[in-house]
Structure 1
């Protein structure tokens, strides 16, 4: 019988079968509890000769990712850097949660674009955020979207629009969006 099964978590007391891989003496029900207790456990933790793993560092700095802004009152789209909430775990991606409040007065609508021109599958899907309330209240037409579509979009876009680029098909974080993404965005704006 394994002596580590159903031991109480050091943080919440819930039965667990997970333990500190460094000392094999402290039990935790989740990696969040292990990380939260590390400062307390560090002094007691003595590694065995074969196991020397330590918890990952906690990321506290602001992460920024390049995005494309279609500002409602500008004639052309431009690159901006979007601040992101830092990832809780490094495996979650570079930018898991973008901070969009500076560009929208309310919670933005969103859509994920998975196909580009001629229906080609995008290796890095695009995440488009838009002002859902501006579309419905007769706000002025977004000049940047109007320009990129040469005014041929079947419906007018209003308010700000921001496009971020996912780091892969699993959609766990974002990477730098750029001018190469404009044709896929234009095709979406035209077909919306």
Structure 2
């Protein structure tokens, strides 16, 4: 269980827990693109709801997307969704080249707490996993990241992301860096390895979208 995460956002589809996201601005939520598609088709705005401002998804403030306010990255599994102004503390965006092999990062989400039917055991409270960034050339990263790509991968130190954590924040750790968003979770092998989009490689797209 996490005791901190003011920028963390729970994403519901048709009222059911689906993914996790991050408030990167008072009017913008960043998550994984694949959370907003079903059988290759975009999910209607009317089916989406976000819960913000609480570590317990049951008490978070409901927020709906602004119609037509979705912007997907052209080269990463990331989606920005515009919402009415939220009363939240947004995550800090990183400087360029924010992650490196060996770096400690922390993933947050309300994902599954069991194996098997992950939809049946989604957490009500925000959880965290501690991970260590691997070199993209490490064979353990196959399928999650590739050298020169827009993703990076990490190995579990304590805990591992699961279903429902997709799109959630991956934060830098260390003094003064705990609110710095360095990754957006794409997926994991449910055992040791997780892959995430590198936020520092998408800074231009994120900042341009938020400004407009």
Scaled by the length of structure 2, what TM-score is found?
0.21
Larger relative contact order (Cα-Cα within 8 Å, sequence gap ≥ 6) = 2
Give the structure with higher Rg (CA). 1
Bigger proportion of residues as strand: 2
Bigger proportion of residues as helix: 1
